[in-house]
Every structure is written in structure tokens, then in C-alpha cells.
Amino acid sequence: MMKSLLEKVKPHIKENLEKDKEKYPSSYKRIISELSDCIIVSDVTLGTLTTLSGYSGEYLSTVNELYNMFEE
């Protein structure tokens, strides 16, 4: 069975997301739900990807950089 994107998101991004779980519960739930349901990055909404990129600790400006938030 293929891994969901939630399983493939890079550990430091997931850790940063978990830290804000209480502060932004609606965003957290939306991101977790969408990443759990998707197995390829192109199925994730741009809104979720850009919100998630804020947890990367870097400024992400290209589509490739958004894809690089996930492990192979």
C-alpha cells in the first residue's frame, strides 16, 4: 500500500505543525485530513501546500520546493 503524504512529510515540518496544533486547530485539522487522504502532491490544494510551507522554516517560492517538503 502506498504511503499517504502525512507519512511522507519531512519530520521537521510535521514537528513544527504539531507545535501549532493548539494555536490553530482548524488549520491543523484541515492539513492533517488532506495529507492523510492524498498520496500524490498534485492532489493537495494549493492553499494547504502554501500553509504547510510556512512550517518548513524556509521561504518556498517554486512548485519544486513545495514538492520537496515530502520524502520520496
Distance CA 32, CA 71 (A): 16
Is the torsion defined by CA of 29, 34, 35, 36 positive or negative?
Answer: positive
- 26: in domain: yes
- 62: in domain: yes
User: Which contiguous run of DSSP H or E holds residue 11?
Assistant: helix 11-19
Whether residue 55 contacts residue 20, with contact meaning beta carbons closer than 8 Å, is answered with yes
Adjacent-strand bridge partners of 70 = 9
Is the torsion defined by CA of 45, 41, 1, 15 positive or negative?
Answer: negative
Q: In the chain, how many domains are there?
A: 1
Say what the pTM is. Answer: 0.90
- 9: in domain: yes
Domain of residue 10, residue span: 5-67
pLDDT in 10s for each residue of the chain, 72 residues? 899 999 999 999 999 999 999 999 999 999 999 999 999 999 999 999 999 999 999 888 899 999 999 998
